[in-house]
Amino acid sequence: MYYGSGYLFLLLLMILAFFANMGVKSTFNKYHKVRNARGLTGAQAAEQILRSNGLYDVRVERVNGYLSDHYDPRAKVIRLSEPVYDNPSVASVSVACHEAGHALQHANGYVPLSLRTAFLPVAQFGSQSAFPLIFIGFFLRFAMLINVGIVFFSFSVIFQLLTLPVEFNASSRALRMMNEYGILVDQENSHARKVLTAAAMTYVAAAAIALGQLIRFVLMASRRD
């Protein structure tokens, strides 16, 4: 029963993640075709937010990939994908300003971002180690290995949960500043909200999948006891 219900629950979460990813791509592509009134590219919008907030030590760079945009707090660099960096669309500006929001979080010492950054190496170690330990533990019927693997996997779940307030706050900052600085105008701001809301749902889905996987592992381990 645990196996069947656990797999069904995880399958439902994976379906949720699939639709969340499809949703962000569809929403981005829709508003990527809508040019913003000021004609600002993603790079220019990010630069405006940075300079308006006195951040002159953060660079904005182009990076390969599709929706591979991110802020690197160690290098103090906003890396924007090619569809965002050079494009003057509502979607491009929304994504770029979201990443600028992360730079502001870093500069202001936003606690959830600091926690997530500090926890990243632990989460990476846990994610890489958990599955081999759990698999070997079940294969050898060694409960201690299974339990250690579950603890390690919980590190990646904690990281996913820490990511949620970081991403939602960055989007909130971006929406406020795009309106405050006149980067987007009128209906463009509601379009930006749709883009950022769709993107946020992918993080919610990722956290839900990680939590669901952890619950499944716990149920499987308890069934063996």
Instruction: Show pLDDT as tens, one digit a residue, over the chain (225 residues).
Output: 445 565 676 677 778 778 777 878 889 989 999 999 999 999 999 999 999 999 999 999 999 988 899 999 989 999 999 999 999 999 999 999 999 999 999 999 999 999 999 999 999 999 999 999 999 988 888 889 999 999 999 999 999 999 999 999 999 999 999 999 999 998 999 999 999 999 999 998 888 888 888 988 888 888 765
User: Could you give the angle at which helices 187-224 and 2-32 cross, rounded to 10 degrees?
Assistant: 160
User: What's the pLDDT score for residue 23?
Assistant: 79
Concerning whether 180 is annotated as a catalytic residue, the answer is no
User: What's the pLDDT score for residue 1?
Assistant: 47
**Distance between CA atoms of residues 95 and 198, nearest Å:** 11
Among the listed residues 60, 95, 66, the one whose alpha carbon sits nearest the alpha carbon of residue 83: 66
Q: Which of 47, 61, 99, 167 is catalytic?
A: 99
Per-residue burial over 141-160, b if 16 or more Cβ lie within 10 Å, else e, is: eeeebbbbbbebbbbbbbbb
Question: Can you tell me whether residue 38 is helix, strand or coil?
Answer: coil
User: What's the pLDDT score for residue 224?
Assistant: 62
Domain boundaries, the chain: 2-224
